[in-house]
Amino acid sequence: MKRRTKRIRFFAGLALLVAILGVTFFFLPRYTQTWGATAEEIARSLPGDDLMSEPGLIWTHGITIHARPEVVWPWIAQIGDDRGGFYSYTFIEKLIGGRDLYNNANRIMPEFQNPGPGEGMIEDFLVVREVVPGEYLLANLAGMPDVGITWLWSLHPAGGDDTRLIVRNRIKMPPEMDSPAILYAIDVGGFVMERRMITGIRDRAEGRSELPGIEAIEIGLWALALLAGIIAASMFRRRKQWPVPLLIAALAVLSLLAFTFLQPPIWMRALADIILLGGLALFARAIRPPDRDILEWID
């Protein structure tokens, strides 16, 4: 294939990648800021709303848990870095924190069932502000007058044995950091952690424990999708039969986005990887020249 053709293919593929990511990240805040919440829950006034005027970012997230509020509450009561953890991605928490502090509990810990005002949740700067056992826990920043963060976990009976968990974050950055780009990064990155946290609370309250090594499995499946995308992109640029690898590369990008923001079950991630890698293998087998050395064909 001529170099000019390869360059054209490269920039065409790059344009498609930019288009997919551009559309996704343009519409993503509509999803990240209100995931799982109803219109009524988004508009509802909740504890902590009066503590900050004009926040730069507001999340209202909701989920239905098939358990009564008194069953859900103990998992919320023990939230904290050196308590029951945050039921989220500990490898990211440890990477950001720089030490092995975060560990997610799979059991109710009696010693952490009575959080009180002033008690640290993320070291000593995010602290408990208000607690109404069985109803809500509100935390906020301490000793940082130019920054505002309130974080609320609120339980609401939903009929029968179900509970609605509403989690609301209100964030106000200091003037020197109050830019759309920084708030966007906080929105997107923070949502990945919070979504995992909320589903982690749901699963534990409904009697499901976190599988051993689950984070390593998720990282491995994410890496496989990335590898499939890289291989497909290389085939797209080098091979004359370009539509199939282009399709697989686009599906790999969409899979990576889904793994990150939709966080589907492990079996769905594994199935997506099997489809991507299986498609690549079938394509390579179909176009492999029978009378040429395989290394020459790859080159």
**What is the per-residue pLDDT across 31-62, written as a single tens digit (0 to 9) for each?**
999 999 999 999 999 999 998 888 999 999 99
Q: At what angle do helices 180-205 and 3-32 cross, to 10 degrees?
A: 70
Amino acid 291: pLDDT: 47
Q: What is the pTM of this model?
A: 0.89
- DSSP labels for 109-156? -GGGS---TT-EEETTTEEEEEEETTTEEEEEE-S-TT-EEEEEEEEE
Flag the least confident range among 37-41, 72-76, 206-210, 218-222.
206-210
Higher pLDDT, 235 or 86: 86
Cα–Cα distance measured from residue 234 to residue 6, given in angstroms and rounded to the nearest whole number: 10
DSSP 8-state symbol, 240: S
Higher pLDDT, 124 or 7: 124
Higher pLDDT, 43 or 159: 43
Residue 85: phi and psi, rounded to 5, are 85, -170
Q: What share of the chain is helix, strand, coil (3-state, %, to 5)?
A: 55, 15, 30
Cα–Cα distance measured from residue 95 to residue 80, given in angstroms and rounded to the nearest whole number: 17
Q: How confident is the model at residue 144 (pLDDT cuts 50, 70, 90)?
A: low
Options 3.30.530.20, 3.30.1360.120, 2.170.120.12, 3.90.800.10; CATH of 35-205 = 3.30.530.20
CATH 3.30.530.20 domain locations along the chain = 35-205
Q: Give CA 38 to chain center in angstroms.
A: 20
Given a cut of 70, is residue 137 above it in pLDDT?
Answer: yes
Write out the H or E segment, with its range, that includes residue 165: strand 163-172
What is the three-class DSSP state of 77? helix
Segment 249-257 shows an average pLDDT of: 96
Cα–Cα distance measured from residue 98 to residue 211, given in angstroms and rounded to the nearest whole number: 24
Amino acid 238: pLDDT: 76
